[in-house]
Amino acid sequence: MPHFLDIHKTAPAALRGMIDSARMMKSARNGRPKGTPDDDQPLDGRMVALIFEKPSTRTRVSFDVGVRQMGGQTMVLSGSEMQLGHGETIADTARVLSRYVDLIMIRTFDESVLLEMAEYADVPVINGLTNRTHPCQIMADILTFEEHRGPIAGKKVVWSGDGNNVCASFLHAAGQFGFDFTFTGPPPLDPEAEFVALAREKGRRIEIERDPLRAVEGADLVVTDTWVSMHDSQSTKERRHNQLRAYQVNERLMAAAKPDALFMHCLPAHREDEVTSAVMDGPHSVIFDEAENRLHAQKAVLRWCLGV
Ligand code: CP
């Protein structure tokens, strides 16, 4: 079953095919109004369930619009309103939904929910974010980098801040797409050692550098994310801010990267915390291309999962 569960679980050739397909589909729309269908309607007659156990703006809207542009239909389901949130097992939910829909996209907390859904579903399952990873985001980020700067292979990506779920998927992508990756942040918030080891096994240069100014030397891309993720307790906010203040992406940090370095953030951002407005709205930033590319990249993921 072609599930899209994580970047390191998907073959590099398939990932490359999805990025190329996304670029072609984006170009084929050629600036037409967002609500008009694509010329090609590969999802005609297909029904997609979009399950959200956590809030979302980009993932929810981009999946919904993407399916519709390709001729399919969607139903957006909130976990708390389903029996899933009232004791029905994930396995039974997966079996039942498979009788109604052609594909399930789920955003959930614990990765085990995603994995159980995939194990028991008879249709493809897409990871729309768990506490551990966020692969769809990174597909959009690769597409965005390559649109602006060409192939990402051999480039240096620097993550500044919390080694969270988005950082984890970047590490997976380093191994699969062949770029180097430096994490800069405080030790308690390092990315999972297992993911660092996995990327190193694939031959990539993966570094952990505590000094953010040294970390970004030679960087082609600087990335950060919110200091308090959706699954983190708000009580950690003050401690996180103290731990991460030195890792804010600001003009001084960007000036230490390559002159043509790009800046990305998956959004939503907390302006003046993890990144300043001067960087978000400045010449290095491609954050809104990145947000748009969620749409195009996920259309390619959907097609790959459904084999259409
Ligand atoms: N980047 C991202 O996943 O955004 P949403 O939480 O709005 O979906």
Written as one string, the DSSP assignment of 141-199 is HHHHHHHHHS--TT-EEEEES---HHHHHHHHHHHHHT-EEEEES-GGGPPPHHHHHHH
And the tokens for 206? Answer: 């993966």
pLDDT of residue 79: 85
Q: Kindly name the residue from 102, 180, 225, 273 that is annotated as catalytic.
A: 225
Asked about 3 being catalytic, the answer comes back as no
56: Cβ contacts below 8 Å, ≥ 6 apart: 107, 128, 129
* Single-letter code of the amino acid located at 126: I
pLDDT of residue 203: 84
Measured between alpha carbons, how far is 121 from 111 in angstroms, rounded to an integer? Answer: 15
pLDDT over 80 (residue 231): no
184 lines ligand 1 (CB under 6 A): no
pLDDT tops 80 at residue 289: yes
Q: Are 254 and 223 in contact (CB under 8 A)?
A: no
Which residue blocks in the chain are alpha helix, DSSP H? 12-29, 58-69, 90-100, 111-120, 135-149, 165-177, 193-201, 212-215, 237-244, 251-255, 277-280, 287-306
CB of 62 within 6 A of ligand 1: the answer is no
The whole-angstrom distance between residue 3's C-alpha and the CA centroid of its chain comes to 16
pLDDT at 236 over 80: yes
Residue 235 pLDDT: 79
| Ligand 1 center from residue 203 Cα (angstroms) | 30
Of the listed ranges 75-79, 140-144, 177-181, 237-241, the one predicted with least confidence: 237-241
Across 184-200, average pLDDT: 96
> Which protein residue's CA is at the shortest distance from atom 4 of ligand 1?
58
* pLDDT-above-90 percentage for the chain: 92
Long-range CB pairs of 26-29 (<8 Å, 24+ gap) are 26/143, 26/293, 26/296, 29/69
Residue 266 known to be catalytic: yes
The residue behind tokens 């050692």 is 193
pLDDT band at 225 (very low <50, low <70, confident <90, very high): very high
Q: How many CB atoms lie within 10 A of CB 89?
A: 12
The encoded tokens of residue 113 equal 């929910």
Torsion of CA 69, 139, 23, 21, to 10 degrees: -70
Is pLDDT above 90 for 238? Answer: no
Q: With a cut of 80, say whether residue 193 has pLDDT above it.
A: yes
pLDDT tens digits for range 88-146? 999 999 999 999 999 999 999 999 999 999 999 999 999 999 999 999 999 999 999 99
CB atoms within 10 A of CB 90: 20
The alpha carbon of 294 and the centre of ligand 1 are apart by a number of angstroms equal to 9
**Pairing mode of beta strands 47-52, 73-78:** parallel
Cα of 290 vs centre of ligand 1, distance in Å, is 11
What's the CA-to-centroid distance between 298 and ligand 1, angstroms? Answer: 13
Q: Choose the catalytic residue: 6, 266, 284, 303.
A: 266
Question: How does the average pLDDT of the chain come out, rounded?
Answer: 96
In the residue annotation, 252 being an active-site residue is answered as no
